[in-house]
Amino acid sequence: MSDFYSYSLSLSRKARSRIKGHAPCVLWFTGLSGSGKSTIANLVDQGLNAAGRHTYLIDGDNLRGGLSRDLGFSDADRSENIRRAAEVANLMADAGLIVITALISPFRSDREMARRLVGETRFIEIFVDVPIDLAEARDTKGLYHRARRGELKQFTGIDSPYEAPLNADLRLDAATVNASALADKVLAKLDIDRVANNAGLGAMPHPHA
């Protein structure tokens, strides 16, 4: 028998969202290392902030340096890393924020777990799609080079798989379109996405309108 019990909170999600003036959601960026996830996510964060939206960006590298610094890169540790990120994102969305995550999150099952945890109407999976050879060419940290030399084990795309989304809510072609234009595409989607309307708060205006 568990010694932990869920405490019923007086304020609802909708009540917390109402004082923010916009609907909460989780924008879940996924893609290979070097695909441009963090760059695009940061631009989206800036755009939403300029429009007066309340946001928070969770970046995979920063998460690994803090909350998940005890984890390695085994399949089990990767899954736990995503679980922690999803739990934090869910709490922040409950507080009324638009949460932006930029994590490789290589396994479909983990991303589906995150979607279930956050909720179908609040979760937007964004696939930053780029061929691995281009991601490797853009790698300023030299991680792919080190992985190919055997210095980094279980590196996604080299000796650990990346399972691309089959039905992402939004696919960004990072091979042919620049980061700024892709960020604008994400911001435009928020105008019409079901998340805003389902929260009963109306659609989120385009920051550039």
Side-chain half-sphere CA neighbours of 104 within 13 A: 22
Token pair for 25 = 């959601």
Sign of the CA dihedral with 70 first, then 76, 82, and 85 last: negative
Of the candidates 17, 105, 160, 180, the residue annotated as catalytic is: 105
> At 10, which helix (H) or strand (E)?
none
Side-chain half-sphere CA neighbours of 142 within 13 A: 4
DSSP E strand stretches across the chain: 25-30, 55-59, 98-102, 123-129, 170-173
- Let me know if 105 is a catalytic residue: yes
Amino acid occupying residue 144: Y
How far from chain centre, in Å, is Cα 49? 17
**Residues annotated catalytic, as ranges:** 105
